[in-house]
């Protein structure tokens, strides 16, 4: 029997992309930590409610309240904030009161509401990592609570290593996938596998810069190759399929 399988490394977290769009999220507290959490949540299109006395809001959180970006409950947290009819999907606490935070965490456990208690890993159902963001691209670095500052440094290093325009190229890949699904809408396992395989070959063959340079006409030309299973190069699409291209020869080779 083969034993060539991945080695198990315990002690990690299951890193997921949590789809929180349109869901209710409660943030308890209004200081600097809460402000950072709110940015992450709004970037994920969550519906955010901040529970904190008005005089406890820092400048950034107060701005988001005043701009209507988040709802505001002007008082301390109460159990009624997690009543079932409010459909709270998760709660984040960022307050300077460990006892109150623990009480909120225990209440969340009884109600089975996922919670993140700032700076108390043992009372967190999930963690926030250091995230590099470039359009649709998100890369999270997590140290599982051991070294947040190091996570931030590593995240910056990763961001600097990525080719310029990576986010834009990923955006183009998404557009290409949608065009492909229009001409090949099959939903069987075989259809899905074929689409994924062809797209994988395109992504392996084309560079970030080439994806950045393609337009809608290029994409339309490219997806026409799908049924044949062929993956043309960028040059074949841009030059070989355009009737408006003027070919110039420098005399370095002759006609056979």
* CATH value at residue 139: 3.30.160
CA distance 61 to 38: 8
Structural domain boundaries, residue 61:
24-128
The answer to whether residue 6 sits within a structural domain is: no
pLDDT string in tens for the chain (256-residue length): 677 888 888 888 888 889 999 999 999 999 999 999 999 999 999 999 999 999 999 999 999 999 999 999 999 999 999 999 999 999 999 999 999 999 999 999 999 999 999 988 889 998 888 889 999 999 999 888 788 889 999 999 999 999 989 999 999 999 999 999 999 999 999 999 999 999 999 999 999 999 999 999 999 999 999 999 999 999 999 876 555 555 454 544 334 3
The answer on 209 and 118 residing in a single domain is no
CATH of the domain at 221: 1.10.3280
The one-character DSSP state at 160 is H
Q: Answer yes or no: do 93 and 136 share one domain.
A: no
Contact 158, 139 (CB under 8 A): yes
The size of the chain, in residues, is 256
Q: Contact at 8 Å (CB) between 37 and 27?
A: yes
DSSP letter at 81 equals: G
pTM of the model: 0.76
Confirm whether 15 is domain-assigned: no
Residues with catalytic function: 119
Question: Is the domain of 182 the same as that of 229?
Answer: yes
Q: How high is the pLDDT of residue 246? A: 52
Which pLDDT value is given to residue 26?
98
pLDDT attached to residue 4: 86
- Residue at 253 is within a domain: no
Q: Are residues 49 and 108 in the same domain?
A: yes
* Residue 253 confidence (pLDDT): 39
Give how many domains the chain has, as a whole number.
Answer: 3
Please indicate, yes or no, if residue 200 is contained in any of the structural domains: yes
Please tell me whether residues 34 and 118 are part of one structural domain. Answer: yes
Same domain, 152 and 89: no
């Amino acid at each position: 029997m083969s034993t060539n399988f991945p080695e198990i490394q315990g002690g990690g977290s299951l890193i997921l992309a949590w789809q929180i769009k349109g869901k209710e999220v409660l943030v308890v507290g209004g200081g600097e930590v809460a402000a950072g959490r709110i940015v992450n949540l709004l970037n994920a299109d969550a519906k955010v409610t901040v529970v904190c006395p008005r005089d406890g809001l820092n400048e950034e959180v107060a701005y988001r309240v005043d701009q209507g970006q988040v709802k505001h409950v002007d008082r301390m947290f109460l159990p009624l904030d997690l009543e079932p009819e409010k459909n709270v999907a998760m709660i984040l606490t960022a307050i300077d009161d460990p006892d109150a935070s623990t009480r909120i965490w225990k209440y969340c456990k009884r109600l089975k509401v996922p919670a993140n208690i700032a700076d108390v890993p043992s009372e967190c159902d999930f963690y926030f990592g250091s995230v590099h963001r470039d359009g649709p691209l998100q890369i999270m670095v997590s140290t599982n609570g051991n070294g947040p500052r190091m996570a931030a440094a590593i995240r910056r290093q990763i961001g600097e290593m990525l080719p310029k325009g990576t986010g834009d190229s990923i955006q183009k890949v998404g557009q290409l996938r949608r065009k492909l699904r229009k001409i090949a809408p099959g939903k069987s396992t075989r259809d899905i596998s074929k689409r994924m395989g062809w797209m994988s070959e395109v992504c392996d063959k084309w560079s970030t810069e080439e994806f950045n340079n393609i337009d809608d006409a290029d994409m339309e030309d490219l997806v026409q190759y799908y049924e044949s299973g062929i993956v043309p190069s960028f040059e074949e699409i841009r030059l070989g399929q355009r009737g408006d291209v003027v070919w110039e020869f420098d005399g370095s080779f002759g006609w056979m």
